[in-house]
Amino acid sequence: MPSAVLLLSGGLDSTTLLAHALAEGFDVHAMTFRYGQRHATEVSAARRVATAYGVRDHVIVDIDLRTSGGSALTSDLAVPKDRDVADDSSEIPVTYVPARNTIFLSFALAWSEVLSATDIFIGVNALDYSGYPDCRPEYIAAFEQMANLATRGGVDGTNRVHIRAPFIALTKAEIIRRGLALGVDYGITQSCYDPPADGIACGHCDACQLRLKGFHDAGASDPAQYL
Amino acid sequence: MPSAVLLLSGGLDSTTLLAHALAEGFDVHAMTFRYGQRHATEVSAARRVATAYGVRDHVIVDIDLRTSGGSALTSDLAVPKDRDVADDSSEIPVTYVPARNTIFLSFALAWSEVLSATDIFIGVNALDYSGYPDCRPEYIAAFEQMANLATRGGVDGTNRVHIRAPFIALTKAEIIRRGLALGVDYGITQSCYDPPADGIACGHCDACQLRLKGFHDAGASDPAQYL
């Protein structure tokens, strides 16, 4: 079985991604970040998901993105509620964390090199997302190109890395349908940016709104608990 | 004054780089990593250097690259001594830390975005180095391209990031000559991978050998203390 490193936040997208990668036959090494996020309960969700799927191993990496700041997810800035998430003309929202996916993928790259894993899975999504620059296909392609110049395996050509973002062109509803077909239990996942308690979602932040709309469009009901 | 983020290890190259960036008129924000390196005394050296130059601010970022492992610098693997560092046909040595520069530059990218800094300085060197893939010009160019797709400023074109590696094509002797011309006190820097004590260098690891050869070729004497 080929090995893969998978970025697991414990949310809807990355949990579906895990089910997808396992179904594709990968031996999955999951990586989760405790980065100073206000919704650190997502780390508990990632643990529940990793345990439920019995992944090969699961590391929690501690980094502190409050050092650089600049985001509502890592500071006292208010998380926007009931924003019009369908309005794609709007600015990049304050929940954007500067260079977060680049930092996450860099750690995944380091681990993949040590494991001799050739695939790194990331659950980014360029359609029903929040307008983050580091969720776009051209960004993922540029990271892959850089990654293969950064590492031993890329240089000698023995171990080229592929950044897999299989949901990048799917709607949230399509991701949910795929997950349900793979038997994902969305009740153990957490998407909320501003959860009032572990396992409870606010229902009003961008992440909750996108998730609720996704379930609605998929004609399914969301087993998550909302306030 | 334009702002810049500068990766400062407290070694010869990054200290010279700091003097160079200040001489170019940048307002420097220095960033140092405590990453589980066995030569963590380099963090003390970075503090000495940042203080000596009175940089705008200096952050020490804690990350643990022992999680991914794979290097003599972050594990119990022996640091090679008295290796032929001029032999560029040899394998990438065990002191290579997987994806280290990618991780460092990613954090610098996050900070630069928050600071609206357009320049990131890194003291990599492709000539008198140890054969690391992430010290080559093509790697730096690929990182810059990726960085400008990853961030707000890159996307809207308001704040393109430049990765500055002004020493990439210099020999160690040339870097030292430039530093001496800028008045750098190399006595406060630390290059050794395996220092027997804070402020003492082993004299036999790759970093010490390259440094000693550099001073020799520059016709200068190294004020560092060797065992």
pLDDT digits (tens, 9 = 90+) for B136-159: 999 999 999 999 999 877 677 777
Instruction: Name the residue facing B92 among A97, A114, A152 (closest C-beta).
Output: A152
> Any idea where the domains of chain A sit in the sequence?
3-226
Q: In terms of CA atoms, which chain B residue is nearest residue A153?
A: B133
On chain A, the residues whose CB falls within 8 A of the CB of B98 are 109-111, 113-114, 151-152
Q: Which two tokens stand for residue B220?
A: 């200068």
B96 touching chain A per CB within 8 A:
yes
Set of chain B residues whose Cβ sits within 8 Å of the Cβ of A96:
152
Alpha-carbon distance A103 to B188, whole Å?
A: 31
Counting Cβ atoms within 10 Å, is residue A5 exposed (0-12), middle (13-18) or buried (19+)?
buried
Q: What is the pLDDT of residues A67-111, one digit of tens each?
A: 766 777 777 777 778 877 766 555 677 777 888 999 999 999 999
Q: What is the CATH number of domain A3-226?
A: 3.40.50.620
Question: Could you tell me if B136 and A149 are in contact, meaning their C-beta atoms sit under 8 angstroms apart?
Answer: yes
On the question of pLDDT at A126 being above 70, the answer is yes
- Please answer whether residues B52 and B188 qualify as being in contact, where contact means their C-beta atoms are separated by less than 8 angstroms: yes
Of the candidate ranges A30-44, A165-179, A180-194, B97-111, the one whose mean pLDDT is the lowest:
A30-44
- Number of other residues whose CB lies within 10 A of the CB of residue B158: 10
Give the CA dihedral A122, A125, A130, A131, nearest 10 degrees. Answer: 100
Residue B34 β-bridge partners = B62
Q: What are phi and psi of B83, to 5 degrees?
A: -75, 155
Q: How far is the alpha carbon of B153 from chain A, nearest alpha carbon, in Å?
A: 9
Contacts of B181 (CB under 8 A, 6+ apart): none
Average pLDDT over residues A56-67: 87
pLDDT at A128: 60
Q: How many CB atoms lie within 10 A of CB A38?
A: 17
**Interchain pair B61, A64: CB under 8 A:** yes
Q: Can you give the pLDDT at residue B129?
A: 62
- Total-model pTM: 0.92
A35: pLDDT strictly greater than 80: yes
Interface check A159 vs B, CB under 8 A: no
Q: What is the pLDDT of residue A88?
A: 59
pLDDT for A112:
92
Q: What is the pLDDT of residue A89?
A: 53
Amino acid code (one letter) for A226: Y
- Nearest CA of chain A to the CA of B131: how many Å? 10
Does B93 contact A at CB distance below 8 Å?
no
Half-sphere exposure of B25 (CA within 13 A, CB side): 2
Place of tokens 């790259």: A109
Note whether A99 and B117 are within 8 A (CB).
no
Q: Check whether B25 has a pLDDT greater than 80.
A: yes
- As a whole number of angstroms, the distance between CA B170 and CA A215 comes to 57
Do the beta carbons of residue B108 and residue B7 sit within 8 Å?
A: yes
| Chain A 46-75, residues with CB within 8 Å of chain B CB atoms | 59, 61-65, 67-70
Average pLDDT score over residue span B102-118: 93
Say how far apart CA A210 and CA A220 lie, in whole Å: 14
Q: Rounded to 5 degrees, what angle do the CA atoms B193, B194, B195 make?
A: 110
Residues from chain B contacting residue A136 (CB–CB below 8 Å): 149
Q: Is the pLDDT of residue B85 over 80?
A: no
| Closest CA–CA distance from residue A117 to any residue of chain B (Å) | 12
In the stretch 164-223 of chain B, residues with CB closer than 8 A to chain A read: none
Q: How far apart are CA B219 and CA A215, in angstroms?
A: 71
Q: What is the pLDDT of residues B28-42, one digit of tens each?
A: 999 999 988 877 788
User: Which residues of chain B are within 8 Å of residue A94 when distances are taken between CB atoms?
Assistant: none
